[in-house]
Amino acid sequence: MNTEQELKQFQERIDNGEKIEPKDAMPERYRKQLIRMMSQHAHSEIVGMLPEGNWITRAPSLKRKMVLLAKVQDEAGHGLYLYSATETLGARRQDLVEDYLYGSAKYSSIFNYPTLTYADICVIGWLVDGAAIVNQTMLAKSSYGPYARANLRICKEESFHKKQGYEMLAKMASGTPEQQKMAQDAVNRWWWPTLMMFGPHDSDSPNSAELIRWGVKTKTNDELRVHFVDRMVMEAEAIGITLPDPDLRYNEETGHWDFGLIPWDEFWSVVKGDGPMNRERIRARRHAYEEGAWVREAATEYARKQRLRAEKAS
Ligand code: BYC
């Protein structure tokens, strides 16, 4: 698809709110942008299992252990839907995975921070999954059908993730002075990195304009961030948590909460690989990938034999 006329027809389909499906004609750049963004999303879900997985054996009760185990398994499922959805664009999963393990593909900055106490698990559920819901509810309206449908399903599960985190945090915030301190400390550490999840300011976001024109994103990074802060201010107040931003103020004119300067130097340093846990996360994922090679080989061989058997029988 290259001619002016074809590009115009494609844009008309987008503007009419039609979904683009895998076998439809699409500009090469649209396909490339989707592969970049969807695979980054898939890698994030998989890397995102590490900070919480670290606490499964130390969850404070059987109930909390079961909830955390279920949540971490859900994240694996999200990664798998998203890799499958990316494969509908002609990408090979192995290439995508190897590009982030040994190449330059990105994953969400948020997973490069450590989980120091159990309160971090509560805060990941509340803030990180809360931010993911805001971002992915928008992506569930994306112009690319498989990505939109994957996000719809993911959001249903994220909603349980956020609720369990908020419920635990509310309990901790009304517990002993020590528990209250732990809860507040975790919020203080995760607040700014969570705001960074939405990406750079719109003025520094090279991809946003194109993605919005093609309906892949339907809201900008800043619009989503403002929406998220508005929701979190109320939720924090309801459980007696203070958000660590002295500049947080309600703006009567805009009807939104204004907030302070995001530490962008920290964001870019994490994105470039120099965050507190970047090396550790990549090391853990490489180890799992390399140690799991025999499982992939066995599954491929099993599938080949099944196919041969089915062909002989038909
Ligand atoms: N971290 O032009 P921009 C979860 C990069 S997991 C790292 O604004 P775009 C969960 C960006 O890639 C859900 N990199 O980009 C799992 C670009 O670089 P490249 C995670 C970032 O695409 C387990 C450059 O900066 N969610 O919920 O328009 C447990 C310029 O940015 C980040 C997703 O992955 C970042 N935060 O917008 C718990 C959502 N931000 O690629 C929870 C899907 C920006 O040009 N992705 N960069 O080299 C998106 O919505 C969009 O891709 C972004 C960025 C908003 C992230």
* CB distance 38 to ligand 1 below 6 Å: no
pLDDT tens digits in sequence order for the chain, 314 residues long: 668 999 999 999 999 999 999 999 999 999 999 999 999 999 999 999 999 999 999 999 999 999 999 999 999 999 999 999 999 999 999 999 999 999 999 999 999 999 999 999 999 999 999 999 999 999 999 999 999 999 999 999 999 999 999 999 999 999 999 999 999 999 999 999 999 999 999 999 999 999 999 999 999 999 999 999 999 999 999 999 999 999 999 999 999 999 999 999 999 999 999 999 999 999 999 999 999 999 999 999 999 999 999 999 98
* CB distance 41 to ligand 1 below 6 Å: yes
Asked if residue 143 lies in contact with residue 14, where contact means CB atoms within 8 angstroms, the answer is: yes
DSSP H or E run through 173: helix 145-173
pLDDT, position 69? 97
* CB distance 112 to ligand 1 below 6 Å: no
What's the 193 CA to ligand 1 centre distance in angstroms?
Answer: 13
The two tokens of residue 114 are 């450590």
Inter-axis angle of helices 145-173 and 177-196, to 10 degrees? 160
Burial label, 60 (beta-carbon count in 10 A; 0-12, 13-18, 19+): exposed
What's the 54 CA to ligand 1 centre distance in angstroms?
Answer: 23
Measured in whole angstroms, how far is the alpha carbon of residue 41 from the centre of its chain?
5
Q: How far apart are CA 94 and CA 108, in angstroms?
A: 20
For residue 138, the ligand 1 atom closest to its alpha carbon is 50
Q: How many CA atoms lie within 13 A of 220 on its CB side?
A: 14
Inter-axis angle of helices 93-102 and 278-291, to 10 degrees? 140
Give residues with Cβ within 8 angstroms of 49, minimum separation 6. 72, 75, 76
Q: How far apart are CA 187 and CA 183, in angstroms?
A: 6
> Which of 37, 224, 282 to mutate to test ligand 1, by most ligand atoms within 8 A of the CB atom?
37
Q: How far apart are CA 189 and CA 114, in angstroms?
A: 10
Q: How many CA atoms lie within 13 A of 249 on its CB side?
A: 7
What separation in angstroms does the CA of 1 have from each of 6, 103, 197? Answer: 6, 29, 33
What's the 225 CA to ligand 1 centre distance in angstroms?
Answer: 13
pLDDT, position 227? 98
User: For the chain, what is the total number of helices (H) and then of strands (E)?
Assistant: 14, 2
pLDDT, position 56? 97
Q: How far apart are CA 71 and CA 55, in angstroms?
A: 12
For residue 104, the ligand 1 atom closest to its alpha carbon is 48
> Which of 207, 228, 264, 269 to mutate to test ligand 1, by most ligand atoms within 8 A of the CB atom?
207
258 DSSP β-pair partners: 249
- For every residue of 198-220, DSSP letters joined together read T-S-GGG-TTHHHHHHTTS-SS-
What CA dihedral angle connects 223, 158, 296 and 271, to 10 degrees?
30
Helix H, strand E, coil C: the string for 51-94 is: HHHCCHHHCCCHHHHHHHHHHHHHHHHHHHHHHHHHHCCCCCHH
What's the 77 CA to ligand 1 centre distance in angstroms?
Answer: 19
> Which of 205, 222, 228, 278 to mutate to test ligand 1, by most ligand atoms within 8 A of the CB atom?
205
DSSP H or E run through 249: strand 249-251
